[in-house]
Structure 1
Amino acid sequence: MNNNAFLKNESALFDIQELGDSRGALAVVESMKNIPFDVKRVFYIYGTAEGIRRGFHAHHKTRQVLISVSGNCKVHLDNTKRKKEVLLDHPTKALLLEPNDWHEMYDFSPDCVLLVLASELYQAEDYIRDYDQFIEVYGS
């Protein structure tokens, strides 16, 4: 876990501890332990057709953790100061996604299941879906 990134409000990759034995593996996520917020909403993306990109937004306040629990996908991050591509390809690799990162998910493998843990319940007004507006809010 990268606590420094959690404190700096920067999106960052971190590892989830894997437990297990000859019967198989187990990974645990817990609010306010290895997830740096109270989880209020859980959803997952799956069955994404080849060539489709998802996301295309940022948030005003919602923080998220993305975990590809099956398969893999890429995430494009843009916080106006840096652009970065992240590969999520193992169920113990997690991406802390801060509100100030415009994000797009793409290159989903056919078996990808992308789990998302969110700090807030869904509220349409929390979403910034226009890139120009995103630049106005976070581009200073």
Structure 2
Amino acid sequence: MENPFLINFPKLGAPEIGYISVTEQQQLVPFEVKRIFWTYYTPESIVRGRHAHHITEQVLIAAAGRLTVTTELADGAIQTFRLEDPHVGLYVPPHAWHTMQYSHSAVQLVLASAPYDEQDYIRNYDDFRQIWQGK
């Protein structure tokens, strides 16, 4: 099982003209992207996420503002990532419980390996530990 890890996308441009970051299918993202969504206007006091997935892999990107992402694996390993550069993404494997907190101006872009399916979500923390502990 893979652990969460950071992906550095190319940062092309210069301060006087701006920047662009780009990737092409499965060049830096380790899966075929089947769903793209973004979150915004999330109050700073709100913690989102609080789930894991059975099969969906994700890359989280702070397109604007700052995201603080905490991941936990079934073995208890906890990592905290501060995303605030739009050319850096965080790979979140399906077996990682994750939470996100946002700065007021944050826009989170998510690349996902599967379309939305409620059955793929593990929303109960104790279920997450039980499902992934033995794998």
Which TM class, normalised by the smaller chain length?
A: over 0.9
Q: Does 1:39 align with 2:18?
A: no
Q: CA deviation at 1:50?
A: 2.2
In the other structure, the counterpart of 2:9 is 16
**CA offsets per residue over residues 63-115 of structure 1, 9 Å max, x none?**
00000010001001000220111101110111000001000001x11110000
Moved more, 11-20 or 116-125: 11-20
TM-score (norm 1): 0.90
Letter of the structure 2 residue corresponding to residue 93 of structure 1: V
Q: Structure 1 runs of 4+ off > 3 angstroms?
A: none
User: Runs of 5+ in structure 2 lacking a partner?
Assistant: none
Aligned residues: 132
Counterpart pick for 1:88 among 73, 83, 86? 83
Letter of the structure 2 residue corresponding to residue 89 of structure 1: E
Cα distance in structure 2, aligned partners of 1:139 and 1:17: 36
Q: Does 1:103 align with 2:102?
A: no
**What CA RMSD, in Å, does the superposition of the two structures yield over aligned residues?**
1.1
Share of identical aligned residues, percent?
39
TM-score (norm 2): 0.93
Q: CA deviation at 1:10?
A: 1.9
Cα distance in structure 1, aligned partners of 2:98 and 2:25: 23
Cα distance in structure 2, aligned partners of 1:50 and 1:24: 27
User: Runs of 5+ in structure 1 lacking a partner?
Assistant: 1-7
In the other structure, the counterpart of 2:126 is 132
Cα distance in structure 2, aligned partners of 1:83 and 1:23: 39
Q: CA deviation at 1:30?
A: 2.2
Cα distance in structure 2, aligned partners of 1:50 and 1:87: 14
